[in-house]
Amino acid sequence: MNLVALNIESIQLGSPLPFILRGADGVLLAQKGYVIRTRNELDVLLSRGLQLCVDTDESGDSHRAYLAQLQQMLMSDTSLGQIASMKISAGAQSSRDRAEGGPPDWPGLQLRATQLLRAPQAHDFPDRFDALHRELALHCRQSPDAVLLALIYLSGHETRQYSGTHAMLVACVCMLVAVEQLRWPVERVMRTGRAALSMNIAMTALQDQLAVQAQPLTSDQIAAVESHAARSETLLRQLGVHDPVWLEAVRCHHHRSPGPLADKSEGEQIARLIQRADVFGARLAPRASRAPMPVTAAMQASYYDESHQVDEAGSALVKTLGVYPPGAFVRLVSQEIAVTLRRGGSATTPRVAVVLNRNGMPTGELIPRDTAQPAWKVTGAIAQRDVRVQLQLNRLLSLV
């Protein structure tokens, strides 16, 4: 264990800790992801640990930022006294990455979304929610295929933090559809993302429970699910949300309301897009009671409305994501199994990487393929449960 003193002024109240927090004697004070909400809580930790420290073997990116800062001070002739007094900064890496548009910390974003939506507090909800939403919107603008790959892949595996992951997926899908196909103005795109991210805020904990519950829903659970849209609107008002369109979209996002978008109010249009993306995302996710659907089945459920007609919002979703969106698994005409990395020139010609050879054996190395080429044409989607190989998300994202 190699302990480094932490600059307590750098701890961002209300945000998850980016590393494990220890006392000067190495005693665990707070796990990574723990949220210190008030200065009083911080003072309590200080009284227990006398000095707050981080084990450099556990601190990852934050420690690398600390070393980079130290090297810069040495090269700039900083006095030895200043160097000796320098302390590691909580969130130094994450703040820098957000400012420079660095790659997302998807596990960190999952944790932030889960904590924020499970136990929102009026005194800090607006700032924390706005920060999370803006970060997601930024990544959607800068690297949309990587965002889709990460969230669709995670949605196919996640049960413990289902609700937060699902909310991020629906929000990002809706913002991309709103920009790329519906051509909505920026203000409406951002409002769409906010409504989608907060649509289930009144039942976040219940959603996470249902994801791992094998038994049928109880009558109380059914009632909670059926009333959650109205309760989410009420809770958002209590948390300081006053945008009438945002609130209307949340209130209406579970309505079954097929028909042209032009015949609906702005809030109803946003709600319909959210409803279609919600259907898509829910079918991708595993449950204790059922396996996730192949992506093509999730797409079909979104494409057709309640009257089995092509849905305008659902059609825009399919055109945006493609038939085989990033994160989906597909079989090629070569009999290889691949994961989609990014959208291609058409809805059926994505860029992929082979993960299983034609004999069903892992390839070890991810082999890029352009499915616009006849030799590597996609013949169909494969459910994640049928792909018996462990893949590292960061490794996939590096190929996007």
In CATH, what number is assigned to the domain containing residue 274?
A: 1.10.3210.10
Q: Are residues 304 and 393 in the same domain?
A: no
Q: Are residues 116 and 239 in the same domain?
A: yes
Domain of 20? 3-97
Using one digit for the tens of pLDDT, what is the confidence trace for 231-255?
999 999 999 999 999 999 999 999 9
**pLDDT mean over 37-65:** 67
Q: Are residues 296 and 343 in the same domain?
A: no
Q: Are residues 88 and 128 in the same domain?
A: no
Question: How far apart (Å, rounded) are the C-alpha atoms in residues 281 and 155?
Answer: 7
Q: Are residues 67 and 39 in the same domain?
A: yes
Distances (CA, A) of 243 to 236, 261, 264: 10, 20, 18
The answer on pLDDT for 91 being more than 90 is: no
Q: Are residues 245 and 356 in the same domain?
A: no
Compare 189 and 49 and report the one with higher pLDDT: 189
Q: Are residues 69 and 186 in the same domain?
A: no
Q: Which residue among 290, 321, 352 closes a domain? A: 321
- Which 3 state secondary structure label does DSSP give 189? helix
Phi/psi zone of residue 137: left (φ > 0), alpha (ψ -120 to 50 degrees), beta? alpha
The answer on pLDDT for 79 being more than 60 is: no
Kindly indicate the confidence band of residue 96, based on its pLDDT and cuts at 50, 70 and 90: very low
Using one digit for the tens of pLDDT, what is the confidence trace for 250-299?
999 999 888 999 999 999 999 999 999 999 999 888 777 777 777 888 88
Question: How far apart (Å, rounded) are the C-alpha atoms in residues 17 and 24?
Answer: 17
Question: How far apart (Å, rounded) are the C-alpha atoms in residues 300 and 376?
Answer: 24
How crowded is residue 345: how many other Cβ atoms within 10 Å of its Cβ?
Answer: 12
User: Quick one: pLDDT at residue 75?
Assistant: 46
Q: Are residues 163 and 249 in the same domain?
A: yes
Q: Are residues 288 and 345 in the same domain?
A: no
Q: For residue 15, give the DSSP letter.
A: S
**pLDDT mean over 218-225:** 95
Question: How far apart (Å, rounded) are the C-alpha atoms in residues 280 and 151?
Answer: 12
Average per-residue pLDDT in the chain?
85
User: Quick one: pLDDT at residue 50?
Assistant: 61
Using one digit for the tens of pLDDT, what is the confidence trace for 323-360?
999 999 999 999 999 999 999 999 899 999 999 999 98
Residue count (the chain): 400
Q: Are residues 201 and 135 in the same domain?
A: yes
Write the burial class of residue 41 (CB in 10 Å: 0-12 exposed, 13-18 middle, 19+ buried): middle
Task: State which amino acid sits at residue 185.
Answer: P
**Total-model pTM:** 0.76
The domain total for the chain is: 3
User: Quick one: pLDDT at residue 293?
Assistant: 79
Question: How far apart (Å, rounded) are the C-alpha atoms in residues 271 and 269?
Answer: 5
Q: Are residues 349 and 316 in the same domain?
A: no
**pLDDT mean over 203-227:** 92
Q: Which residue among 270, 299, 321 closes a domain? A: 321
Q: Are residues 155 and 231 in the same domain?
A: yes
